[in-house]
Amino acid sequence: MAGGAVTRFAPSPTGLLHLGHAFSALTAFDAADRGQFLLRIEDIDRDRCHPEFEAAIFEDLEWLGLDWPQPVMRQSDRLAVYQAALDHLAELGVTYPCSCTRGDIRAALSAPQEGAPILGPDGLVYPGTCRGRRMYGIAEGDVIRLDAEAAFSVLGDNMLNFNDHSPHVLTREAFVTGIGDVVLARRGMGTSYHLSVVVDDAAQGITKVTRGLDLFESTWIHVLLQRLLDLPTPDYHHHRLIRDDAGKRLAKRDDARSLRELRGQGASAADIRALVGL
């Protein structure tokens, strides 16, 4: 394994894989470089995930020439692990329950004393309406948020950093104003993408996270959670995004560019590599 990295591809089975996924999966596979490439199924959103899409993921990735060790980690099997991480964060005093709807948040942000709303990696930066509520007062239908200020106080540090080819740094102030109190456990789900991905990358011993540039800002949330949970921060490589002919980022609903469709039209795995510039 000398020189190699442990990498992963972590798709959500909410649709067919398209060229953007192929690029992401091949990038992770190539980055393992004599190390190990792992696959993880991110299926915490039970309403949007379907077994037929999961089966299609395995089929498409095999066709692309990738292989990975079994068994594959599946997030829906790990809800108790996420709950334990959330409990730990609650013990640190860096979480609070929140009942605000999107409408409540927009209304609070339009109050005259608020400046222009700021769009963070997770949508509008939360105005803090429920901050100060206690975890023992949690009610049905609440989400759990991270108290960003409290989190930095617990760390006793005003700086976050990670490596993506070169070092990147973010200050406490930039986090609090530009990202803020993100949701760690979504309604009815007990976790969120951010919490699960951090816990699982550590559990799988991932040393290099490769994923799209669209997630660059989210990485600050992950680094903060790693610090709070005493987990290592891996290296990151945020790769370019594959766009359609009109320059728009590919989405799962663009079935015309699905790997299955391209394969049906006679494309080979080598053609897919060439199409995404690898």
| Interacting residue ranges for ligand GLU, rule: CB under 6 A | 10-12, 42, 197, 211, 215
18 vs 211, beta carbon nearer ligand GLU = 211
Q: At a CB cut-off of 8 Å and minimum separation 6, what does 257 contact?
A: 18, 19, 244, 250
93 vs 212, beta carbon nearer ligand GLU = 212
Name the minimum Å distance from CB 261 to ligand GLU: 19
- What residue has token string 């692309």? 64
Sign of CA dihedral 47, 52, 53, 54: positive
Residues 148, 104: contact at Cβ < 8 Å? no
57 vs 138, beta carbon nearer ligand GLU = 57
Query: Rounded to the nearest 5 degrees, what angle is found at the Cα of 42, between the Cα atoms of 44 and 14?
Result: 85
78 vs 211, beta carbon nearer ligand GLU = 211
Name the minimum Å distance from CB 271 to ligand GLU: 23
Name the minimum Å distance from CB 212 to ligand GLU: 7
Give me the DSSP letters along 38-88: EEEE----TTT--HHHHHHHHHHHHHTT----SSPEEGGG-HHHHHHHHHH
Name the minimum Å distance from CB 63 to ligand GLU: 19
11 vs 97, beta carbon nearer ligand GLU = 11
- Tokens for 43, please give them: 């299926």
Which amino acid is residue 107, in one-letter code?
A
Sign of CA dihedral 73, 74, 80, 82: positive
Name the minimum Å distance from CB 221 to ligand GLU: 11
28 vs 94, beta carbon nearer ligand GLU = 28
The half-sphere exposure of 169 on its side-chain side, counting CA atoms within 13 A, is 4
Query: Rounded to the nearest 5 degrees, what angle is found at the Cα of 167, between the Cα atoms of 163 and 173?
Result: 105
Name the minimum Å distance from CB 259 to ligand GLU: 15
7 vs 100, beta carbon nearer ligand GLU = 7
Name the minimum Å distance from CB 188 to ligand GLU: 19
